[in-house]
Amino acid sequence: MDNDKQVLATSELATLPLGHNWYQKLASNFEIIEQYLDKLDTDELVVNDLKNKFDDISDKINIYETNMQAIVNILSDYDVPIAIVDGKVVETEEGE
C-alpha cells in the first residue's frame, strides 16, 4: 500500500454513464479497500499482542507487590522496623 491517497471509483459512479468498464472501476475499489483491511488486520494483531504483553506484565507486577507486602508483614511481625512507603520498602523507626 503506497502512501498516495487513492480515490475510490464509486464516488464517480453517479456521474458515469454505466458503460462496459464500470465493473472494472468497481473491482478496483475492492482492491484499494482490501489493502486497508489487510493493514487493519495486521495492526489489530500488533495491538492484541501488545495488550497481552501489558496484561502479563501487570499480572507480574501485582504478584510482586503482593509478595513484597507479605514479606514486609512477616518481618513486621518479628519487630523488624520496615514498611512500604510510596511503593518502596523502607526502614522505619521503632514503634511506627
Residue 23 within any structural domain of the chain: yes
Residue 4 within any structural domain of the chain: no
pLDDT digits 0-9 by tens, 5-42: 666 665 555 555 666 677 777 778 888 888 888 888 88
Residues in the chain: 96
pLDDT digits 0-9 by tens, 58-91: 999 999 989 988 988 888 888 888 888 887 778 8
- Cα 15 from Cα 23, distance rounded (Å): 15
Residue 49 predicted with pLDDT over 90: yes
Residue 3 within any structural domain of the chain: no
Residue 32 within any structural domain of the chain: yes
Host domain of residue 58: 9-91
Can you give the pLDDT at residue 23? 72
Residue 39 within any structural domain of the chain: yes
b/e per residue 77-86 (b: at least 16 CB within 10 A): eeeeebeeee
In terms of pLDDT, which residue wins out, 79 or 53? 53
- Cα 73 from Cα 2, distance rounded (Å): 59
Segment 49-57 shows an average pLDDT of 95
- Cα 5 from Cα 8, distance rounded (Å): 10
Residue 17 within any structural domain of the chain: yes
Residue 71 within any structural domain of the chain: yes
The number of domains in the chain is 1
Return phi, psi of residue 76, to 5°.
-65, -35
Residue 2 within any structural domain of the chain: no
Can you give the pLDDT at residue 17? 62
